[in-house]
Structures are given as C-alpha cells and as structure tokens.
Structure 1
Amino acid sequence: QGNNMKHINYKKRVWMRVIMLVILAFLSMGSIFVLWGCSEGEKDSEEANSSIANTSDAIALSNTSTFEPSPIPSLETLIYLTDVVVTATANFWETSTAEYHLSVSIEAARTETAAAYKTETATLWTPTPTATHTLTPTLTPLEIAERGVSSNAEWSAYVGIDGMTRREFDGVTMVLVPAGCFMMGSENGQSNELPVHEQCFEEPFWIDETEVTNAQYGSVACPDSFDPDQPRNCISWLSAKGHCEARGGRLPTEREWEYAARGPDSWEYPWGNEFVGEYVVHLGSPEYQDIKIAPVGSRPEGASWVGALDMAGNLSEWTSSIYEDYPYDPEDGREQVEDTDSRIVLRGGDFGKGAQYLRSAFRSRYPSNTAYNNFGFRCVHSYDN
C-alpha cells in the first residue's frame, strides 16, 4: 500500500509538472505573439530571432538578471523581459516567483514606455521662443560751424531768409557776414589802430571761407608752396584784384575784412580775446620750421564768428582799401580802387609773425605791385549777387 501511494504521488507530481510546463509554454507563446505584434514594422524577423537567441543565451548563463530599461523600449528589451519571466519560472517553478516577475516586468515595461513617450512628446511640443528685434533710436549730433556772438539782432534775421550761412560760388565756399556794427581799431595795438570807432553795415555780404588756394587760382608762384590746398602766395594786389573780379566778386575793404574777423563783440582775435597758439599758423607753431605755409583750414579751432578760417596767421591778405589814418571813412577816397599808386592795406598777420601781429585790428601797408611769399588774399560777394 505504501508503494502504491508513492506511485500515485509520483504520478501526481509528474502531471503537475506537465500542466505547469504547458501553462508556461502558452504564456510564453502569448507574450511572444504580443511582442511581435507591437514591434512589427520596426525590424524584420531575422533580426528579431537573432536578438531572442542572443538574449536567451545570455540569461541562461546567469540564473538572475537585473532589468535596466532604456529610454525608449525596443523589441529586444521587451523580449528580454519575457525571457526573464520564463527563465525564472523554469528555475523556481515551485514558488510564486513567476507571477511576481511577470507582474514586475510588465509594470516596469509599461512605466518605462509611458515615461519615455511622455518625455519625447513634451520635448516635441515645447514651443520655441523667437526673438523680436527692437530698433533703438540714436541721436545724430549736429555740427555747428559758426561761432556764437553775444549780440547781433540782424544775424538771426538774415539767416532766417533762406536758412543758409554758407554758399558755393563757382566751387568756392563762402560764408555769410550779416549786417551789424562793431568797434574798429584797438587800444592794445599800434598807434595806427587809433582811435577806436564804430563801423556799421546795413547790408550783409559773403566772404571766402578760406584764403584762395593754388588749385582755385590755377597756378603756383613761390617754390615753397606747391600744394594745391596751400593758399596762393607771392601774389600782387593787382593780380589778386583781377582774380576776384573774374569770379564776379572783389577784394574786401579794410573794414569788411576786420568785421568778418572780429564780429560785433570786437574780439582781439578771430576766436576771442585770448591768444591761443594752437589756433593759428604762426612763428611759434611747432611745425613752423618744416611747413611754414599750411594748407588752408588746417586750424579750424581758429575760425571767426562767421566761420571764416585763417584770418590770423598763415598769410597776410590784401584788401581793396588805400592806407589812410583812422577814423575810417569809406567816403574819403580810400576805397577808390582805381588808384594803384598808393600803398594798399594788408590784414591778418602771417606765418612769420608773433601774437601781437596776429590780432584782427593789426594793419600793414605795401605798394600794390609787391608780391612777397607771405602775401595772399580772399574775395567777397555782395549778398544779392
């Protein structure tokens, strides 16, 4: 009887093993079919069978395995999970390990899959901000060429006519000298600058911004000034007068020249009452020994109140006035330009003079046929010309 019971128990154990193996076989086949359906189209059957075989061999060598899911589950990963369940069940069929591993593996796969796809979706649908270019306005500084004056009511009136204080005459820039009054002469100079007296202009006029250059004149005379931008020197009063008249203008009178240089405030120098050596080309200039005569406009800081340049230093300038004592009277014959036998006034000092001779009130006189290398000129036009 004991042997019969052992035989019966043995048969029961055999059948239980057979039944468990059949169940596990069906579970494995079902899992494989499901996984194959999920991964259809990603890889062909040869790659899948190869991956299954390789993964199964690796798991068979070690009866335990650790599941570390990849960011996005692939066919190999899911089959790996199934083999873990099958292997664990085959080795530990008498426990509940199969159900536990199956549950853990499925949950892990589901969790990993959900997390991976959720993250990918979030990344794809995150809007990318775009920068909007904003223009930042900037201020453009305005350049004021003219020097301000303290008092001259007529100035604003004449500028307001057409808004022009500069004008081109046959390619030569001229600056506007408005109507007004100033004190002619100086108590700080030579005796021929006295008495100081008032002179007035009822009409404005135009004067060259710079001394006439070699290029404007069309030729050179002295060997020390061949630069086309240097002022035309070594010129006589007659030649200077003829050039201005050929341009439709004339030489300035002595009082016109001084007014354009000093202005209604009657400054000692074109830029003010204090001498500034850097504002003028003269004997004390650092480069005097090298260049002597400088290109016109090379000292813009020394501009007069109307923007006329080099009215102190560089070259002395011919006027149209005959030399006479003060007070200046335009009706006493000194502006009779036909008289070529008298001495003619030059103004403005030159590159060979010191500060005392660069004042705007300084006067010198020479015969009309004199043509030294420190003599130059500029022209004027009437306002309505």
Structure 2
Amino acid sequence: MEFSSINASGDGSNALPDWNDVLIPPSAFIMGTDIEPFYGTIVAQSRHAKLDEAPIHVRFLEAYRIARYPVTNAEYEVFVNATGHTPPPHWEDGKAPADEATLPVVHVSWHDAIAYAQWAQGRLPIEGEWEKAARGADGRIYPWGNKFEPVANKGAAVLTDQLTPVGNRPGAVSPYGVHEVAGNVWEWTADWYRPYEGNTYRYSDYRAKHKVLRGGSWLEVRDETANRYFRCANRLHAPPDYTASNIGFRCVRDVVPAGSNPEAVGQEMPVYPTQISAELLNKYVRQERSKNLQRIRKRARGRCFGDCSIAALAIGVGSYGMMIPKYAIGGFTLAMIGIGFLFSAGVNFWRQWKARKFLDANKVEGLS
C-alpha cells in the first residue's frame, strides 16, 4: 500500500490508505517443498529446506489482492495518529524518523499488524496467500527462479544487509509483480505455526502458540544465510507479541464478484476463468516427485555398491594387517574406515528402500 494521496496533502493525516496492490487471480498453485529425511543433498530443490515445509502439495485459492509493498513507516504513522495506537518503541515522541518514511515499519508485533490491517479495511495474508503471491503457480524456489542468482537478476539490492526503502529491490519481485518478497523484512501472516496436512514430522514448536513469518530479511544477508531463508517456501515462526528490527508486514483484502457489493469500490473484479487447474498441477507434482525419487534411488544404489566395495577391501586388508604386529595399528585404522563405509552403504540401502516405497505410494496416488 502507498499513501500517495495522503502524502500529497497536509489535511489527510487520519485518512484511510489508498491501496497500491496487486490482483492475484484464482488458480491452483504449488505450495511447500518435496523433502523427506532420506533425501540428503541429492535433490537440489530440497537442499536448504526444512521438514516443516513438507509435503509439497497443490492448493487452490480464489482471487485476492495483496499490497505491492510492505507497510512503511509513513503509512504506519498515519494509523498511529488516527487511532492512538502505541507507536514502535524506537520512534521518538511517537513519530517516525523523517528520513525513514519509506522504509518498512519494524518492531511491530503480530497484534500491531492485525490492528493496522483492520483499520485499513484489510487483513493479514494466510500462509498460502503469501506463498502464492511470492512464488507464482509453478513452485519455483525463489521469486526469480530456481537458482540463487539475485544479483544476476537485476537485484544487487536483494543482497543489501540493511533496511532499504520499499520498491528498491528489483530482483525480489514475484511473477505477479509483488515487491520485497525476499529480503528487507520478515512479514507476519495470519496463521498459527502448524504442520501442513499430511506432514508426519512432529516438532515441539508446533505446540507453541507461534505465528508464521515469511520472506527473509536484511539480517540473513548479513549472516550469509540468504540462500536458505529467501526461499519462497521457507517458514519462520515467533510468538505473536514478538518484535524485532527485521520484522514487518503487508496486508491483503478480499475480492468480491462485480455487482455483489456496491460499497466495495475498487475491490470488485469480473469473473475470471481459473488460471491453472488443480488437476493439472497435481499431475505435474506427482511426475516431479517421481523423478526425484528415481534420482535418489539410482544415486543411492550406485553409492551403496561403491561403499560396499570400498568397505570389503578396507576391512579385508585391515584385518590382514592386524595379524602382523608392525602393521597392527594401521590395519586397525583401515578396518575402522572400512566399517564407516559399510555404515554408509547401509544408509544408502535404506535410501533405496525408502525411495522404492514412496515411488509405489506415488503411483497408487496417481491412479486414485
């Protein structure tokens, strides 16, 4: 959202915001990550993923509108002045620093974000809405594609290790034209931190009363972890009263069918045909998952054979050396190395078995 009309006049300090948002059309999209504990680093898409992103799945969302940028200090100050809401603690005398007007507002809790969204006649996005707006429908890893190349993609500013004015990260624009979806600030969503349906991996954090944050921030650039946290499917979580210098938010609003609500000026849209069907994407996801499982099975089989060969040689030679006093220590060391390779062979055999099991389940799912 931008307060273009408010900034242009001095008498609109308590006015509601002029929405600068993006229409996300109705369609299915790919959410989450194809990751399993036995994948290791074989599948590139899951290399930096966490198990709370599983399973990869297809969701359908009706049309909605999402703010093009995170809420800025200038916009939040209008809200504070209009409602008397407590300003962020780093503001002096309850006013945003004049030279930070276009920076994303930070040090705001989930409760603060909810209060602003309600005042602005919007709401916070649910996780699916945020991920779809950032990722598009095709399941890409980053807003710009599947490789971590933000600089090559018009976006040296994506890797800036400090807050920047909104609209100044051209490499962090989603397929729908939503800005700042990688870096700058983490963004609150409406959802509690819970496992996705079908996720069998239980974290103790699921029991905590935490809200989900999305997007990554300038701090991950400083920590050199941007390649992990800038992924569209990445999930962070925090208590709803938590605040930090790298947490902000943006708003969404619902879209109503044309003519159904005469008072919903600017929110109406014609009836759009479904852009991408869930059936088509489900088929694509099953195919890609099968490819990943076949790749794991093939790689694990090769590694298992290689590890077994090395283990047999090392254990055999080491055992022989242990029978000769002057070579006993070297023989023992070699035998232990062989046992290590034997363990690795066992892990790769387990990967083969798991991949085969999941492949069979994937085929059955495709027939159902």
Residue 215 of structure 2: aligned partner: 348
Distance across 1 between alignment mates of 2:110 and 2:230? 20
Residue 252 of structure 2: aligned partner: 380
- How many angstroms does 1:355 deviate by? 1.4
Distance across 2 between alignment mates of 1:281 and 1:246? 32
Does the 8 Å contact 1:204/1:383 carry over to 2? Answer: yes
Distance across 2 between alignment mates of 1:261 and 1:275? 15
Residue 58 of structure 1: aligned partner: none
Residue 32 of structure 2: aligned partner: 185
Cα distance 1:328–1:253, how it changes in 2: closer, same or farther (>3 A)? farther
Counterparts of residues 241-320 of structure 1 (less than 5 Å): 241-278=114-151, 279=155, 281=157, 284-285=159-160, 288=161, 292-320=162-190
Does the 8 Å contact 1:177/1:206 carry over to 2? Answer: yes
Distance across 1 between alignment mates of 2:198 and 2:127? 9
Q: Which runs of 4 or more aligned residues in structure 1 lie more than 4 Å from their structure 2 counterparts after TM superposition?
A: 222-225
Instruction: Indicate yes or no: 2:70 matched with 1:211.
Output: yes
Secondary structure of the equivalent of 1:349?
coil
Residue 171 of structure 1: aligned partner: 18
Cα distance 1:361–1:328, how it changes in 2: closer, same or farther (>3 A)? farther
- Unmatched runs of 5 consecutive residues or more in structure 1: 1-168, 330-340
1:321-366 CA deviation, whole Å, 9 max, x = no partner?
001012389xxxxxxxxxxx82000001111112111100000110
Distance across 2 between alignment mates of 1:380 and 1:170? 13
Does the 8 Å contact 2:135/2:174 carry over to 1? Answer: yes
Distance across 2 between alignment mates of 1:280 and 1:328? 38
- How many angstroms does 1:309 deviate by? 0.3
Residue 104 of structure 1: aligned partner: none
Secondary structure of the equivalent of 2:238?
strand
CA RMSD of aligned residues (A): 2.2
Distance across 1 between alignment mates of 2:88 and 2:176? 30
Residue 292 of structure 2: aligned partner: none
Which structure ranks higher in relative contact order (CA pairs < 8 Å, sequence separation ≥ 6)?
2
- How many angstroms does 1:301 deviate by? 3.1
Q: Which is greater in Rg?
A: 1
1:198-248 CA deviation, whole Å, 9 max, x = no partner?
1111x2100000000001111663659831000000000000011011111
Distance across 1 between alignment mates of 2:232 and 2:181? 8
Counterparts of residues 135-174 of structure 1 (less than 5 Å): 170-174=17-21
Amino acid of the structure 1 residue aligned with 2:231: R
Secondary structure of the equivalent of 2:218?
coil
Secondary structure of the equivalent of 1:239?
helix
Distance across 2 between alignment mates of 1:372 and 1:281? 21
- How many angstroms does 1:186 deviate by? 1.4
Distance across 2 between alignment mates of 1:314 and 1:196? 26
The alignment's TM-score, normalised by the length of structure 2, stands at: 0.51
Distance across 1 between alignment mates of 2:88 and 2:163? 13
Distance across 1 between alignment mates of 2:236 and 2:156? 19
Cα distance 1:328–1:374, how it changes in 2: closer, same or farther (>3 A)? farther
Does the 8 Å contact 1:302/1:309 carry over to 2? Answer: yes
Distance across 2 between alignment mates of 1:319 and 1:274? 26
Does the 8 Å contact 1:197/1:327 carry over to 2? Answer: no
- How many angstroms does 1:184 deviate by? 0.8
Amino acid of the structure 2 residue aligned with 1:180: S
Distance across 2 between alignment mates of 1:328 and 1:379? 29
Does the 8 Å contact 1:318/1:345 carry over to 2? Answer: yes
Distance across 1 between alignment mates of 2:118 and 2:150? 34
Distance across 2 between alignment mates of 1:357 and 1:346? 11
Secondary structure of the equivalent of 2:74?
helix
Cα distance 1:379–1:280, how it changes in 2: closer, same or farther (>3 A)? farther
